[in-house]
Structure 1
Amino acid sequence: MTRFPVTSDLSNLGQPAPIAPEEAPTTQADLPQAQDVPRGQQRLIRRVLTPALRWWLQTQVEAVTELEIDLQAKDQQVLAGYLPLVRVLAVGVIFQGLCLTQARLQAENIRVNLGQVLRGKPLKLLEPIQAWGELHLTSADFQQSLDSDLMRSALRDLICILSKELNQPLPTALATLQVAEATVNFGHGALDCTLNLLGEQPFTISFASEIGLASPQCLEFRQLRAFGLEPQTIQINLGEDVHLESLCLTPEKLTCEGGLTVFP
């Protein structure tokens, strides 16, 4: 899962200890196993926070077929703007043109602006959080997503990285490079891609590669064939805020599990 593209309209409350940059990422096994909240302590969650969170999530996507939210918190914690654990299941999601069959997300130790929410203000996040999730992207989803600005921007960036890593200059300035058309096919742990690109002059680039994880922060392209060169291996660093646990590619779908830091 590359860094999830999250637009957070989320801002300040509470006095939590900030997440230390050097702190090792939380793993799925470290997440708290919250007990079900007693029914009598769910009033604020049902009446205020769940609708507010549902509204905020729906504003972040263009469409969602099914959205389930599970908030684990007691009234005292809610009143303090603190949510120990939040789970979200979204089915049939379209985010900035990116289509996802299913997304499961989980986050812990969340601070929100409850006081402002009670006065009718939008829900906001007050400090960085660690979010963990599982994304399912079918081959059909991917093909449908190829027309989105988000996907074309990602493919453009990938071509620029490959050009630099393989020391193969492109026949156009990077600032003018645009993806006009893309064809991407999934395989077992591999993909092949053909891009028609526009710039100072149109041209086509094709590449094929096995793909996997070199580390939780690093994608690895193995047996990469591009620009007419011999097969090579390159790695792409996704940044310290990303922590991928698994990446599985089949002819039918791409499944990714991992986490990232979400900032206010």
Structure 2
Amino acid sequence: MGSQKTEFEAEHSSHSKQSRIITKVLSPAVRLLLRSQVQQVDHLDVQISGGDRQILSGYIPQVAISAQNAVYQGLYLTQLEIEGKNIRTNLGGVLRGQPLRLLEPIPVFGEVRLDESDLNASLKSPLLAEALTTLLKSFLPEKSITYEAVHWEQVTIGCDRLIIKGTIASDRQMPLTLDTRLELIDGQTLALKELQIHSDTELFDIDYFQIDLGSEVAIETLTLTSGQLLCCGRINVLP
């Protein structure tokens, strides 16, 4: 009886020791990888699920990540809740001191909430500013403006509508306004409806314009309420 108890205790101790390795190595490696991708984050929580043998072989069945007030490539995210499944990593290399990296693409499911203040702060991001200017150039005469000439300054989120204001620097500062209704057509397609582009001298009315979000994206819901944008869906994260 005492021998059986000793064997059980030894097995339990080995299991605990193995779990401690995962806790001490894998979770910090994931947090380090995520923190290296963001400029700032107020709260970051990582929950890793799976058996010890699976995880130590480099296979992670599931990772759930939540973050608050994160900044990624200049984009401000009020709240982020995502979940990735069937993840293959180089965990053997991590145990030898290498940085964690993905070995295969993974589908990531999640929810992102953006407050109006976050979108306004994100206008300083080249990623968002260039995307807006590219959209604007789709409707203006060729070479009428340059990317450097447009300065985006303010976003207002209404119910199903976005109003984005800025200026165009030419001989003088010309005010500019984009006013549009947003509608999700399918997982990869976003529509701008009743789009109006105002400047000092011109007004463009566009009834309907489609934006292809790409094959790596599958948006399920996109909701705009007063002062807030909520997006749920899937994106494929590539190694």
TM (norm. structure 1) is: 0.77
Q: Which has the higher helix share?
A: 2
The higher relative CO (CA closer than 8 Å, separation ≥ 6) is in 1
Q: For 1:232, which of 183, 186, 207 is the aligned residue? A: 207
**1:77 — aligned with what?**
54
Alignment check: 8 A CA contact 2:196 2:203 kept: yes
The C-alpha deviation readout for 1:235-255, integer Å capped at 9, x for no partner, is 111111110001111122111
Shift of 1:202: 6.2
Match status 1:108 vs 2:79: no
Counterparts of residues 48-197 of structure 1 (less than 5 Å):
48-161=25-138, 163=139, 168-170=140-142, 172=144, 174=146, 176-197=147-168
Shift of 1:178: 4.3
Q: Which moved more, 1:214-223 or 1:181-190?
A: 181-190
Using a 3 Å threshold, how does the CA distance of structure 1 residues 153 and 230 change in structure 2: closer, same or farther?
closer
Unaligned runs of 5+ in 2: 1-14
Give the secondary-structure state (helix, strand or coil) at the position aligned to 1:88: strand
Give the secondary-structure state (helix, strand or coil) at the position aligned to 2:203: coil
Counterpart amino acid of residue 166 in structure 2: L
Q: Which moved more, 1:108-117 or 1:143-152?
A: 143-152
The C-alpha deviation readout for 1:27-73, integer Å capped at 9, x for no partner, is xxxxxxxxxxxx84633321211010011111110111111111011
**1:260 — aligned with what?**
235
- Give distance in 1, aligned partners of 2:204 and 2:150: 22
**1:219 — aligned with what?**
190
- Give distance in 2, aligned partners of 1:49 and 1:171: 51
Using a 3 Å threshold, how does the CA distance of structure 1 residues 65 and 230 change in structure 2: closer, same or farther?
closer
- Give distance in 1, aligned partners of 2:190 and 2:47: 32
Give the secondary-structure state (helix, strand or coil) at the position aligned to 1:183: strand
Counterpart amino acid of residue 243 in structure 1: A
- Give distance in 2, aligned partners of 1:52 and 1:101: 24
Counterpart amino acid of residue 214 in structure 2: G
Q: Which has the higher strand share?
A: 2
- Give distance in 2, aligned partners of 1:200 and 1:70: 55
Tell me the matched-pair count. 220
The C-alpha deviation readout for 1:76-114, integer Å capped at 9, x for no partner, is 111210001100000111112211111001111100111
- Give distance in 1, aligned partners of 2:38 and 2:135: 24
**1:9 — aligned with what?**
none
Give the secondary-structure state (helix, strand or coil) at the position aligned to 1:240: coil
- Give distance in 2, aligned partners of 1:191 and 1:199: 25
Give the secondary-structure state (helix, strand or coil) at the position aligned to 1:127: coil
**1:205 — aligned with what?**
176
Counterpart amino acid of residue 26 in structure 2: L
The C-alpha deviation readout for 1:190-234, integer Å capped at 9, x for no partner, is 011222234798654322111020110001111112252345111
Alignment check: 8 A CA contact 2:38 2:72 kept: yes
- Give distance in 2, aligned partners of 1:231 and 1:261: 32
**1:246 — aligned with what?**
221
Shift of 1:136: 0.7
- Give distance in 1, aligned partners of 2:46 and 2:73: 21
Counterpart amino acid of residue 154 in structure 2: T
- Give distance in 2, aligned partners of 1:203 and 1:82: 55
- Give distance in 2, aligned partners of 1:171 and 1:78: 54
Using a 3 Å threshold, how does the CA distance of structure 1 residues 201 and 119 change in structure 2: closer, same or farther?
farther
Look at both structures and tell me which one has the larger radius of gyration over its CA atoms.
2
**1:12 — aligned with what?**
none
